[in-house]
Chains A and B, each alone.
Chain A
Amino acid sequence: MGPLMQATFHQAIGLISPLYIVAGTLAGYLVGIIPGLGPAAGITLLLPLTYYMTPAEALIFYASLYQSAEYSGSITAIAVSTPGTPNAAATVLDGFAMNRQGHIGKAFAYSLWSAVFASLIGTAGMILLGEPMARLALYFGPTEYAALGILGLSCVSILSADFPLRGLLSAVFGLLLSTVGLDLISGQQRFTFGIPAIFDGLPLVAMLTGLFALPEAIMLLTEPQPKFRTGTARGDTRVWLRWAEFAAVFPVMCLGTIIGFLMGLVPGLAGSVPPWISYNLARMTSRDPGSFGHGAPAGLVAPEATNAAVMHSTLLPALSFGIPGTPTSAVIIGAMMLSGLTPGPMLFTDHPEIPYAVFISLFLATAFLWVVGLVATNVWTRLLMVPPQLLGVAVILFVTVGSYVSRTSLFDPQLAVIAGILGYMMKKGGFSAPALVVGFILGPIIETNVRRALLLSGGAIKGAPGAISLALLAVSLVMIAFGVRQSRRRAPAS
């Protein structure tokens, strides 16, 4: 480790805030357990807190929240057979089967150990790859950035919706919404209709809270939710593993971690797909594939390790390139912009201590996650007994207050509600609000870089774009073609 790196680490350690690690981890447990909320909605609900934190504290808080929310989605999956987050869907199969066999404590323990192991490896990977990736990003010009943004957007939109074409339409609509307000290059107003509140664009906090959190609130108020009653959990509830039990699933844990970490690095590939790939690979390589789906520990460990590893590696392109690979990382990019940080390679050159403070904090957050998981997992499941209507009211109050305090304007909660109703209708119609949000956040990045490239080339598309941009655009086209093909296959009759 060179002297510069040592100095950066010393500065980073000085920025670590145990309070925000603890608060973020606990908040993550809370939003992960409540079905439907998840890390993206959880972070958007707490976005207004950004105004009271330093940039480093905000990033540490949201990263800790993201990590524990990804893990705690499995608690609901195991306890009531409903994934707390969509990414924990594969956990239901063997996790809930173990619960029904009277091994709920063991199921929680397998899930916890996998998440902790994969988080430690994932964080180490972030430390190793963060700076090299940022250095690579420095070679990217406006054309490459625009192409990378288009690739991220097309991947997320195709993979985030049940119907890829609707996901693509949602992303394009998000891009369109991002053009509202002052044009960053010409200074011209677009689609503002003389409303001063949107001269700077549609407010980020109101849009995010509305699109992510309010649809869940409407669902909590109007639709039946899974019930957990005391006594549902039978048998051994102690969250503990013996060494032999850990050793037996260790190879699967490693497999899940590697798959998750690699897939998270590619924008758009993270999400609910990697845990299923990991589950299927674990089943194919198992000596007893017939036990999968009937409470096989390996069937629980593989997707959980993948989930945790994906969460870490998906933050890498977000921090080093400024390109979000998942809706949650898009929200984290939004939070960074609110706190005055610009994600991308300059973050590692101008403020290297901040990303490293986040990486080191994630180690501490993992340790805290483990302790809370050991001691209080059974307590967290009691949250599922809270009436959903009360949770719905809580979300509405958070959204209105949160969007109001961001600019102290009543316009913002009103816009949040309109965005929430749109998000709810989109959800019911098979569209993708996460794709819309990613389009909304990537819009300025794509537009600015395309126009910069045009200005550099004298205002016209001339000269061949670089090989990297062409390759990225080709992959985007393949993704879109794949999505259109999938849409045709899936479209059910009305």
Chain B
Amino acid sequence: MLGSMSEATTPAGAPPGQGRRTGAVDAIWAGRGVAALFAATGLFAGWTAVQGMRHDPDPGTWLLPLTTGILCVALAAVVGIDGAGVMVPWRIVTRRASAMALLLVYVGLLLPILGFVAGSVLLVIAVGAACGGERGFVIVGGLLLVSVMWALFAYGLTEPLPAALWGR
């Protein structure tokens, strides 16, 4: 298929079969978490659309939000019931959650406070530190990349340069 194989059929990162034997968590990987998120968003959109249709002079504005909201809730309910998925060991879940947390810290804290250069240097060091044998290569390569990006950044942008590069 166009997308890659999903966790539901292939537990990437875990040796074959290990996921099912040492099953620890069957949360977002089973798809139920994503389905729940879609259902909640659909419910909110549908409710807002109904309110909008009542008060808005042009109810057509809310036609697509209402339709897609209802469809989201209905499809998510069906998907949530089917329960397809495999168990994933906590070790792998922790590694994935750490990577996602690192990204959130990077754009939520490091970029706004420290700016692109210092924020990216810290990101490279954090990733490199978790790399084991190839630590040096990753850090040096990453810092080179940051330098290249900085050069492109400085070349392509003028007005917001200081704030974006160096933070507040």
A residues with CB within 8 A of B: 36, 52, 86-87, 156, 159-163, 165-166, 168-169, 172-173, 175-176, 179, 183, 185-186, 188, 190-191, 214, 218-219, 221-224, 271-273, 326-327, 386-387, 389-390, 392-394, 396-398, 400-401, 404-405, 408, 410, 413-414, 416-417, 420-422, 424-434, 443, 446-447, 450-451, 454, 459, 487, 490-494
Tell me the bound Cα distance from A341 to B106 in angstroms: 34
B92-103, CB under 8 A of A: which get 1 and which 0?
100110011001
Residues of A within 8 A of B149 (CB): 397-398, 401
Is the beta-carbon distance between B104 and A401 smaller than 8 angstroms?
A: no
Is the beta-carbon distance between A404 and B82 smaller than 8 angstroms?
A: no
Known: A214-B103, A221-B99, A429-B85; 9 extra A-B contacts, CB below 8 A, are: A169-B76, A169-B79, A179-B65, A219-B12, A221-B127, A410-B164, A428-B6, A429-B8, A430-B84
Chain A at the B interface: mostly helix, strand, loop or mixed? helix
B residues with CB within 8 A of A: 1-9, 12-13, 26, 28-35, 37-38, 41-42, 45, 48, 52, 56, 58, 60-65, 68-69, 71-72, 75-76, 78-79, 82-86, 92, 95-96, 99-100, 103-104, 106-108, 111-112, 116, 120, 123-124, 127-128, 130-131, 134, 137-138, 141-142, 145-146, 149, 152-153, 156-157, 159-160, 164
Tell me the bound Cα distance from A188 to B41 in angstroms: 20
CB pairs A–B below 8 angstroms (6 shown):
A156-B2, A169-B35, A188-B58, A327-B2, A405-B157, A427-B7
Residues of A within 8 A of B45 (CB): 176, 179, 191
Residues of A within 8 A of B96 (CB): 218, 222, 424, 428
Contact of B111 among A219, A400, A454 (CB under 8 A): A400
Residues of B within 8 A of A273 (CB): 1
Is the beta-carbon distance between A387 and B75 smaller than 8 angstroms?
A: no
Is the beta-carbon distance between B164 and A175 smaller than 8 angstroms?
A: no
Is the beta-carbon distance between A404 and B164 smaller than 8 angstroms?
A: yes
Task: Specify which of A165, A414, A429, A433 lies most central, judged by the most chain B CB atoms within 10 Å of its CB.
Answer: A429
Shortest CB distance B102–A (Å):
8
Tell me the bound Cα distance from A428 to B84 in angstroms: 11
Is the beta-carbon distance between A424 and B1 smaller than 8 angstroms?
A: no
Shortest CB distance A178–B (Å):
8
Contact of B2 among A272, A396, A447 (CB under 8 A): A272
Q: Which 10 A-B pairs have the closest CB atoms?
A: A429-B31, A430-B6, A430-B8, A160-B2, A428-B7, A176-B68, A169-B75, A271-B2, A186-B58, A223-B13
Residues of B within 8 A of A386 (CB): 141
Residues of B within 8 A of A190 (CB): 48, 52, 61-62, 65
Residues of A within 8 A of B108 (CB): 414, 417
Task: Specify which of B9, B107, B108, B134 lies most central, judged by the most chain A CB atoms within 10 Å of its CB.
Answer: B107
With CB as the reference atom, state the residue of chain B lying closest to A398: B149
Residues of B within 8 A of A432 (CB): 2-3
Shortest CB distance B63–A (Å):
7
Tell me the bound Cα distance from A416 to B92 in angstroms: 24
Residues of B within 8 A of A390 (CB): 134, 137-138, 141-142, 145
Residues of A within 8 A of B79 (CB): 163, 165-166, 169
Is the beta-carbon distance between B60 and A389 smaller than 8 angstroms?
A: no
Tell me the bound Cα distance from A52 to B34 in angstroms: 37
Given contacts A165-B78, A221-B99, contact A427 B60 (CB under 8 A): no
Is the beta-carbon distance between B68 and A179 smaller than 8 angstroms?
A: yes
Task: Specify which of B1, B33, B164 lies most central, judged by the most chain A CB atoms within 10 Å of its CB.
Answer: B1
With CB as the reference atom, state the residue of chain B lying closest to A492: B84
Given contacts A429-B7, A494-B30, contact A487 B1 (CB under 8 A): no
Tell me the bound Cα distance from A387 to B157 in angstroms: 31
Tell me the bound Cα distance from A432 to B34 in angstroms: 11
